[in-house]
Amino acid sequence: MRRTTIVVIGLSLVLTAAVTIAAGVGPYRIPPGDVIAAIAARLAGEDGDPNIATVLFRVRLPRIAAAIAVGAALSGAGAAYQNIFRNPLVSPDILGVSAGAGFGAVIGILLGLPVVVIEALGFIGGASSVILVAAVARMLPDRGNVLVLVLAGVVVGSLASAAISFVKIIADPYEQLPMITYWLLGSLSGVRLSDVLVVGPTVVVGLVPLFLLRWRIGVLSLGDDDARALGIDVGRTRVWVIGAATLVTAAVVAISGVIGWVGLMVPHMARLVVGPRFDRLLPAAILMGAIFMVVVDTLARTLARIEIPIGILTALVGGAIFVWLLSRTRLGGWRQP
Amino acid sequence: MSTSTLRRSAGLFAQLATVLALAVGLAVPAAARMVVDSSGRHVEVPDAVHRVFAAGPPAAVLLYVVAPKTLVGWPRAPRADDLPFLLPGVRDQPELGRLTGRGDTINTERLMASHPDIIIDFGTLDDTYRSLADRIQAQTGIPYLLIDGRFGNTPAALRLLGDILGVSDRAETLARAAETAFAQVDQVLAKVPATERPRIYLARGIDGLETGSRGSINTEILERVGGVNVVEGVRDAGGIAKVSPEQVITWAPDTIVTIDPKLVELLRQRPEWRPVPAVAERRIFLVPQRPFGSIDYPPSVNRLIGLPILLHLLYPQRVTSDVHAEVRTFYRLFYQVDVSNDVIDDLLGAGR
């Protein structure tokens, strides 16, 4: 069996174990036997204990599914971006998607709109800031250069951050400001089944192009000229990758709020396991991202009586792991040979 | 020298003269008196105070109820829905911003341009706020007074501000009303055994998952009326917290209180709230949020009306007074507006 296949099977088993444990723990105590009984009853079309059913099927399992979607999306997008931008410090935020989504959501909070609309505004804000970045980069003379795109992303991202700060100043300090703060720290505490039913398929749809383009994305890390010499349409590939990565990132950020570190760090963890080849890296990064988020979100909802915003935990856990990773790898090791 | 320069110099002289006059005025004890504020700071205050800047929303409410005409502007302008519950003339005052240390939204020049005789702040008394008061006072020359904002201190706070502003009679009336409200709570609670105390969850935020944890200023009133706040925070001095539906189901509150009418509907509709006893037993209580909240929002004198309303909601068998009359009296006495029974029904979410 190929090594990649073994890694994918192994990671899938770890993810299954993590999901099983996560489904069994939580502030509402449900003994493991009852969890299995409730799932069996649901599968058989029976009702079972209504409270347990609500906690499991309306709260806990949708939340775990959301954690998987968030981890998979951010890590997959991060891995692809690190390759096409040929930079190990790139995360899915590089083109301003998180800041743009934050701005959209914060405007929704300021106007007192319903949650679904706030989520939609988050998605629209994230997607449109990337479109804006692409438009700005196209207007510049050196538009073929990927660095121009990154710089345009920095500009649009900081514009959106400034706009968020302005909204914070004019927001109501007793009602809206705490809401904005929590949104910007990221959390899955309010995730509902309906969110997952929309975002889950969106993430799957968005990750498909990355899979289909995995060979070309791998070649792009060699540099534009070499990739062109190998017959790859660099510009078009880049557009597809950015489009797909933006779709998945904006979709998950809309329901989870801003969650840092995952998209930057998990691809490096995956590289340590499967090496830098992108066709191997992508499935490993997606699975490891899902595992990481399920574990971190389980901590977020069980460590204390009140929720710990997930952005705090990813920064703490992610930062520690990242330093450990840096101590074990040479920075040059991320490039595909 | 051109005319404009001359005019400018003349203006400068006039300003200098004003500053000098102010300095002299401050130095002459006959025109001023010494006031000790809640933090023990000795502050010289002019005899006649006509214009007051409220440093934040809690101070603005305190000032509004004691002497509305002295308010030079709002830290945050009232919303359109609040206007019918505020005095004409006062409700239209401009939004000036707040003075809260680092997050100030008013600059010092604009503060001085509004020409307040004094600045008051109502709330926490710690070294941060004390040093902030000292700094602004030293910088602007405007006396800056801190008043203890703890809920139990409300009668004393009303009297202190009445003294400062020279409206002791009105302040005394309000302070007595506040004492009566607290006394009524104690009388009712004396008859309620510990087993009958409600376990309350305060629903805030857009999805009801934002709340205040035990010991926070946001839920102080719930504990004051004998309720047990189900939300245990990570530290004793609570704050605003975010929780998950699963945690609320686990806490199993028998009562939910909110100031947001939209949340009442939302919590009743959403299936994940159904296992919560308060939702199943239809004990989601709406308390007034206009012109100011009656739980917090902001944590100020406005919370007083929350006391009788919560007593009626939580212990209906133990309270015989007429809640409509109490609300009407409070709005007339404190906010100086008349509210009809229909409006009170609306405020209390009757028929929902």
Average pLDDT of the residues in A217-237:
88
- What was the pLDDT predicted at B104? 62
- What was the pLDDT predicted at A319? 83
Lowest mean pLDDT among A110-114, A331-335, B49-53, B65-69: A331-335
Sorted by where each starts, the structural domains of chain B and their CATH numbers stand as 3-174 (3.40.50.1980), 182-347 (3.40.50.1980)
- What was the pLDDT predicted at A251? 96
Cα angle B84, B158, B114; round to 5: 65
Q: Measuring CA to CA, which residue among B186, B161, B187 is closest to residue B174?
A: B161
Note the helical H segments in chain A: 3-24, 32-43, 50-53, 61-84, 97-110, 115-139, 146-170, 176-185, 193-212, 214-220, 224-229, 234-256, 262-274, 278-302, 310-328
* Residue B275: alpha-carbon gap to chain centroid: 34
Q: Is B234 on the interface with A (CB under 8 A)?
A: yes
Distance (Å) from the alpha carbon of A310 to chain B's nearest alpha carbon: 11
Query: What's the pLDDT tens digit per position in B240-264?
Result: 888 999 999 999 999 999 998 889 9
Question: What's at B239, amino acid-wise?
Answer: G
Query: What's the pLDDT tens digit per position in A28-56?
Result: 989 988 999 999 988 988 878 888 999 99
Which residues in chain B are contacts of A189 at CB distance < 8 A?
209, 242-245
Q: Taking CA atoms, what residue in B is nearest to A166? A: B105
| CB contact set of B232 (below 8 Å; sequence gap of 6+) | A305, A306, B213, B214
Token code pair at residue A302: 């069980």
- What was the pLDDT predicted at B1? 42
- What was the pLDDT predicted at A306? 84
Put simply, the answer to whether A178 touches B271 (Cβ < 8 Å) is no
Q: Measuring CA to CA, which residue among A315, A181, A102, A164 is closest to residue B240?
A: A181
Taking 50 as the pLDDT cut, the residues of chain B under it are 1-3, 24-30
| Residue count of chain A | 337
Pick left, alpha or beta for residue A329 (phi over 0 → left; psi -120 to 50 → alpha; otherwise beta): beta
Q: Measuring CA to CA, which residue among B288, B298, B221 is closest to residue B63?
A: B298
- What was the pLDDT predicted at B29? 44
- What was the pLDDT predicted at A170? 85
Token code pair at residue A74: 């951010």
Q: Is B244 on the interface with A (CB under 8 A)?
A: yes
Token code pair at residue A208: 């498909």
Distance (Å) from the alpha carbon of A287 to chain B's nearest alpha carbon: 26
Q: Is B243 on the interface with A (CB under 8 A)?
A: yes
Q: For chains A and B, what is the number of CB pairs under 8 angstroms?
A: 98
A 132-191 residues inside an 8 A Cβ radius of B: 169, 172-175, 178-179, 182, 187, 189-190
Q: What is chain A's Cα-based Rg? A: 20
Most confident among A85-94, A320-329, B95-104, B268-277 (mean pLDDT): B268-277
A 25-84 residues inside an 8 A Cβ radius of B: 26-29, 50-51, 54-55, 58-60, 63
Question: How many whole angstroms separate alpha carbon A250 and alpha carbon A74?
Answer: 10
Identity of the residue in B243, B246, B293 whose CB atom sits nearest the CB atom of A28: B246
Q: Taking CA atoms, what residue in A is nearest to B242? A: A307
Q: Taking CA atoms, what residue in A is nearest to B217? A: A174
Identity of the residue in B207, B241, B246 whose CB atom sits nearest the CB atom of A306: B241
- What's the whole-model pTM score? 0.85
- What was the pLDDT predicted at A128? 96
Which residues in chain A are contacts of B270 at CB distance < 8 A?
192
Exposed e or buried b per residue across A275-303, where buried means at least 16 C-beta atoms within 10 angstroms of its C-beta: ebbbebbbbbbbbbbbbbbbbbbbbbbee
- What was the pLDDT predicted at B30? 45
Residue A336 has pLDDT above 60, yes or no: no
Question: How many whole angstroms separate alpha carbon B170 and alpha carbon A252?
Answer: 56
Q: Give the CA-trace dihedral at B89, B95, B97, B99, to 10 degrees.
A: 0
Question: How many whole angstroms separate alpha carbon A24 and alpha carbon A38?
Answer: 12
Question: What's at B1, amino acid-wise?
Answer: M
Bridge partner residues of B32 (DSSP)? B46
Q: Measuring CA to CA, which residue among A325, A285, A290 is closest to residue A82?
A: A285
* Residue B336: alpha-carbon gap to chain centroid: 16
Task: Let me know if B180 is exposed, middle or buried by CB neighbors in 10 A (0-12, 13-18, 19+).
Answer: middle
Cα angle B184, B186, B189; round to 5: 110
Q: Is A110 on the interface with B (CB under 8 A)?
A: no
Mean pLDDT of chain A: 90
Which residues in chain A are contacts of B250 at CB distance < 8 A?
27-29
Could you say which architecture CATH assigns to the domain A3-334?
Orthogonal Bundle (1.10)
Hey, where are the domains in chain A? 3-334
Q: Taking CA atoms, what residue in A is nearest to B97? A: A170
Task: Let me know if A13 is exposed, middle or buried by CB neighbors in 10 A (0-12, 13-18, 19+).
Answer: exposed
B 8-47 residues inside an 8 A Cβ radius of A: none
Put simply, the answer to whether B271 touches A54 (Cβ < 8 Å) is yes
Question: How many whole angstroms separate alpha carbon B181 and alpha carbon A242?
Answer: 62
Put simply, the answer to whether B244 touches A27 (Cβ < 8 Å) is yes
Q: Is B220 on the interface with A (CB under 8 A)?
A: no
Distance (Å) from the alpha carbon of B233 to chain A's nearest alpha carbon: 6
